[in-house]
């Protein structure tokens, strides 16, 4: 008889421990197997952590423990082998420990639905098969004319899909007469389009220098800082080529799903069918197939977004994070992992190099490279040695910059767009808000239309005449009147991508204008199609959110403009200036990447703000020094560590009381260098009908704070109906 220590599928902090079950069967059971369990009277999925042999009887165990053990039967065992290997399990434990996340939630984040330790996995996609017909003999004797016709078709095309043969009855006769046989083959639901193979490009002097510095660096983590257009991708490809030649594998991460197709194309041209792709936009079936293809060793390179950091590659020789500064590498719900930190953990497990690439590295990464914690390589010139775009800052407070044609696009920007259109050159316009108008209120009583779920402002979308919450997805029809005073003349304020597209169509009716934001991206393949069509010259102007500012290479774009650079500066986060700088620098870098000289324009109400001035010049080093000084004064990363505690309750008073009680006990510990911000009302103050309060912990010495949290959280969590979520290294608060 065996005792199994089992994690349940439930990710609640209070259930983050094992429960014991008995197993009396002969079928093999081992750690990291999934099993069906009876948990509190409900069928659930369990994940086995340990198996113990016992000579005691069921009655003895009941007497010793004071409760009766539930049994797991042989038919309740889901797997024939461990779900994940030892290295991946150790990684899961590290991630769980660092991010205060229930271990089961990390394991679930690692796996596609069909393999996840949750009950829903039983209904997830399974292996798909196709039936093929193979030729055994082409002997046509004793066959009818119809049978001969089918046999000849099979002979010319074998193996051939069963459905392509034609009549099922004729095929059955050919099988009976021993001329052909029907076999089952696994169907691959996702296939990367074959690309024309290309030979490696000759590296520039700077690329060769960076390549050698990365390989020769004694550090396992290396920052590659290269200006936009400096050719970082070719360095990635060359390093991958070397790693593959050594019989090892490569993990290539990109920050946004819409950047994945371009990177897949680069790698497919160079490495063909060795490449696999993993991201959340694949269907469950496609993701399952790709995951298994990787796990079975049929792919040596994986390209994907954040969750691909958990790809089941073995013998990894190199992990690359392109655009490592981008915040989408941070998971915005539990478990709150950051792909960069997980990649570094995985690099330690695999003893391989981790390469962080960016034109505008995050301050934390740059500071670590500056202090020698990370290795460093630099490419400070564009690949074709072209100058960076000439950039103009346009002051939106100066009315001389406007004419009667538009309140959103300044006169100089309109003139420059016309000039580029006349020369058959392309334009990128970036506005970091989607929608038509960014808010709706009542001018009579001041009522603002907000989301009932999270408290954020609702945005008007003209395309379907709806109000939408960009945070939680809530939608409602555009109201006919104010719910407070009944006024029917509502006011729309601000503007987003839809509104800018409408103005461009009015100002330049002959121009072909495309829009790219997450609304467009909701429909599968839309992003890829718009990006490809713009690249191929089917559009003259592309209007988009930050999705279009990163990683794309459009040879004919000679003007990039940020329509309103100030939006990010108003966000309630210590990273507001860094985000604004990065966005502007990346947007400016999209222009003039080929033969033609590029220009950029930045529209702003704050022309003297340092993030805008340095971003326009792409002067990262000066911005880094200035912003580091600001962070030091305010005591934010990289000078401190942060942990954000979120208190959630259906009763607002209880959420408030719990947050103050926790703060009070924490301060009684008198932990050196620890300070707290809050409790405060977060920007989004509701979550699925629960009220939220947040408490930010800032500290310099991790050990004592983390030790206290590990002891205190189990005591506080769930008290009086208040749940506490933990976000380690938060990017917002």
Q: Is residue 275 part of a domain?
A: yes
Is residue 425 domain-shared with residue 525, that is, in the same domain?
yes
Provide the token pair at 281: 């936009």
Range of the domain at 444: 437-494
- Give the angle 155-156-160 at the CA atoms, nearest 5°: 75
Is residue 275 domain-shared with residue 374, that is, in the same domain?
yes
Rounded Cα distance, 466 and 473, in Å:
12
Q: Is residue 635 part of a domain?
A: no
Regions of the chain with pLDDT less than 70:
189, 191-196, 258-260, 384-387, 432-439, 441, 446, 453-457, 462-464, 470-473, 491-496, 517-526, 547-552, 570-572, 593-595, 683, 733
What is the number of other CB atoms lying within 10 angstroms of the CB of residue 726?
20
Maximal C-alpha separation, the chain: 95
Q: Which pLDDT belongs to residue 343?
A: 97
Q: Which pLDDT belongs to residue 494?
A: 57
Helix axes 576-588, 610-617, angle to 10 degrees: 20
End position of a domain, from candidates 103, 123, 143: 123
Is residue 320 domain-shared with residue 361, that is, in the same domain?
yes
Is residue 247 domain-shared with residue 319, that is, in the same domain?
yes
What is the number of other CB atoms lying within 10 angstroms of the CB of residue 603?
24
Provide the token pair at 186: 């696994």
Can you point out the beta strands (E) in 187-274? 221-226, 249-253
Q: Is residue 502 part of a domain?
A: yes
For residue 354, give the CATH number of its domain.
3.40.50.300
Sign of the dihedral defined by the CA atoms of residues 585, 617, 402, 609, in that order: positive
Is residue 79 domain-shared with residue 109, that is, in the same domain?
yes
Is residue 459 domain-shared with residue 606, that is, in the same domain?
no
Cα–chain center distance at 725: 21
Q: Which pLDDT belongs to residue 644?
A: 92
pLDDT in tens, 497-525: 777 888 888 899 998 988 876 555 445 46
Is residue 86 domain-shared with residue 66, that is, in the same domain?
yes
CA–CA distance from 146 to each of 8, 599, 674 (Å)? 59, 69, 85
Q: Which pLDDT belongs to residue 434?
A: 45
Rounded Cα distance, 250 and 301, in Å:
5
Is residue 173 domain-shared with residue 304, that is, in the same domain?
no
Q: Which pLDDT belongs to residue 719?
A: 74
Q: Is residue 276 part of a domain?
A: yes
Rounded Cα distance, 275 and 281, in Å:
17
For residue 651, give the CATH number of its domain.
3.30.70.600
What is the number of other CB atoms lying within 10 angstroms of the CB of residue 13?
20
Q: Which pLDDT belongs to residue 437?
A: 46
Q: Is residue 204 part of a domain?
A: no
- Beta bridge partners of residue 677, listed in sequence order: 696
Q: Which pLDDT belongs to residue 593?
A: 67
Provide the token pair at 196: 């024309």
**Neighbour-count burial of 185, counting CB atoms closer than 10 A to its CB (0-12 exposed, 13-18 middle, 19+ buried):** exposed
The 275-278 sheet, strands edge to edge: 275-278, 301-304, 249-253, 316-321, 353-358, 221-226, 375-379
Q: Is residue 352 part of a domain?
A: yes
Is residue 243 domain-shared with residue 277, that is, in the same domain?
yes
Is residue 402 domain-shared with residue 315, that is, in the same domain?
no
Q: Is residue 195 part of a domain?
A: no
Could you give the number of structural domains in the chain? 6
What is the number of other CB atoms lying within 10 angstroms of the CB of residue 499?
22
pLDDT in tens, 454-480: 566 677 776 667 787 755 667 888 888
Q: Is residue 196 part of a domain?
A: no
For residue 16, give the CATH number of its domain.
3.40.1440.60
Is residue 483 domain-shared with residue 550, that is, in the same domain?
no
Rounded Cα distance, 196 and 202, in Å:
18
Is residue 333 domain-shared with residue 398, that is, in the same domain?
no
Cα–chain center distance at 644: 21
Provide the token pair at 373: 């914690």
**Going by DSSP bridges, is the β-strand pair 42-53/2-8 parallel, antiparallel, or unpaired?**
antiparallel
End position of a domain, from candidates 91, 107, 123: 123
Provide the token pair at 704: 């004592």
């Amino acid at each position: 008889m065996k005792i199994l220590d089992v994690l349940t599928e439930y990710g609640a902090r209070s259930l983050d421990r094992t429960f014991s079950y008995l197993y009396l069967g002969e079928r093999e059971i081992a750690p990291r197997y999934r099993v069906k369990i009876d948990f509190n009277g409900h069928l659930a999925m369990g994940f086995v952590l340990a198996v113990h042999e016992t000579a005691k009887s069921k009655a003895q165990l009941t007497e010793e423990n004071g409760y009766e053990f539930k049994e797991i039967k042989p038919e309740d065992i889901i797997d024939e082998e461990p779900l994940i290997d030892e290295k991946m399990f150790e990684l899961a434990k590290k991630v769980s420990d660092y991010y205060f996340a229930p271990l089961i939630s990390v394991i679930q984040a690692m796996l596609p639905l069909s393999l996840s330790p949750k009950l829903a996995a039983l209904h997830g996609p399974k292996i798909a098969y196709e039936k093929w017909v193979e030729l055994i003999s082409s002997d046509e004797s004793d066959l009818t004319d119809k049978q001969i016709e089918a046999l000849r078709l099979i002979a010319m095309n074998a193996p051939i899909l069963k459905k392509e043969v034609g009549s099922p009855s004729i095929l059955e006769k050919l099988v009976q007469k021993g001329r052909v046989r029907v076999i089952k083959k696994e169907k691959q639901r996702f296939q990367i389009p074959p690309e024309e193979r290309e030979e490696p490009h000759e590296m520039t002097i700077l690329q060769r220098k960076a390549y050698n510095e990365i390989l020769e660096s004694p550090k396992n983590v290396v920052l590659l800082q290269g200006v936009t257009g400096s050719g970082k991708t070719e360095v990635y490809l060359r390093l991958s080529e070397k790693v593959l030649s050594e019989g090892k594998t490569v993990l290539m991460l990109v920050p946004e799903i819409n950047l994945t197709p371009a990177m897949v194309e680069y790698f497919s041209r160079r490495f063909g069918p060795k490449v696999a792709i993993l991201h959340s936009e694949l269907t469950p079936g496609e993701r399952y197939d790709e995951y298994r293809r990787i796990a079975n060793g049929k792919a040596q390179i994986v390209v994907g977004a954040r969750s691909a950091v958990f790809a089941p590659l073995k013998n990894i020789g190199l992990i690359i994070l392109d655009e490592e500064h981008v915040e989408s590498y941070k998971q915005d719900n539990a478990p709150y992992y950051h792909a960069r930190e997980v990649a570094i953990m995985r690099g330690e497990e695999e003893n391989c190099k981790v390469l962080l690439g960016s034109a505008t590295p995050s301050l934390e990464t740059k500071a670590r490279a500056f202090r020698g914690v990370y290795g460093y390589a630099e490419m400070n010139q564009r690949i074709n040695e072209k100058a960076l775009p000439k950039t103009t800052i346009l002051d939106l407070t100066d009315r001389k910059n406007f004419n009667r044609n538009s309140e959103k696009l300044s006169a100089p920007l309109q003139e420059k767009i016309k000039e580029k259109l006349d020369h058959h050159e392309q334009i990128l316009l970036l506005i970091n808000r989607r929608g038509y108008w960014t808010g709706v209120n009542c001018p009579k009583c001041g009522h603002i239309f907000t989301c009932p779920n999270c408290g954020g402002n609702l945005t008007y979308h003209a395309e379907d005449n709806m109000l939408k919450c960009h945070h939680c997805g809530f939608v409602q029809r555009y109201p006919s009147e104010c719910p407070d005073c009944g006024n029917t003349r509502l006011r729309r304020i601000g503007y987003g991508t839809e509104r800018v597209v409408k103005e461009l169509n009015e100002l330049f009716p002959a121009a072909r204008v495309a829009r790219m934001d997450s609304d467009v991206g909701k429909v599968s393949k839309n992003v890829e199609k718009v990006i490809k069509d713009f690249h191929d010259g089917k559009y003259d102007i592309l209007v988009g959110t930050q999705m279009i500012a990163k990683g794309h290479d459009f040879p004919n774009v000679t003007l990039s403009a940020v329509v309103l650079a100030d939006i990010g500066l108003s966000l309630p986060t210590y990273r507001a200036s860094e985000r604004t700088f990065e966005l502007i620098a990346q947007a400016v870098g999209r222009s003039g990447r080929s033969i033609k000289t590029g220009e950029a324009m930045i529209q702003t109400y704050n022309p003297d703000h340092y993030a805008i001035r340095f971003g326009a010049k792409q002067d990262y080093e000066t911005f880094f020094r200035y912003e580091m000084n600001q962070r030091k004064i305010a005591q934010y990363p990289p000078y401190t560590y942060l942990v954000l505690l979120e208190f959630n309750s259906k009763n607002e008073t209880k959420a408030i009381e719990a947050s103050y009680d926790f703060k009070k006990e924490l301060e009684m510990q008198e932990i050196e260098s620890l300070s707290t911000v809050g409790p405060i009302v977060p920007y989004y103050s509701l979550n699925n009908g629960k009220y939220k309060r947040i408490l930010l912990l800032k500290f310099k010495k991790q050990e004592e704070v983390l030790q206290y949290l590990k002891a205190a959280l189990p005591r506080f969590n769930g008290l009086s109906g208040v749940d506490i979520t933990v976000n380690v290294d938060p990017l917002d608060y």
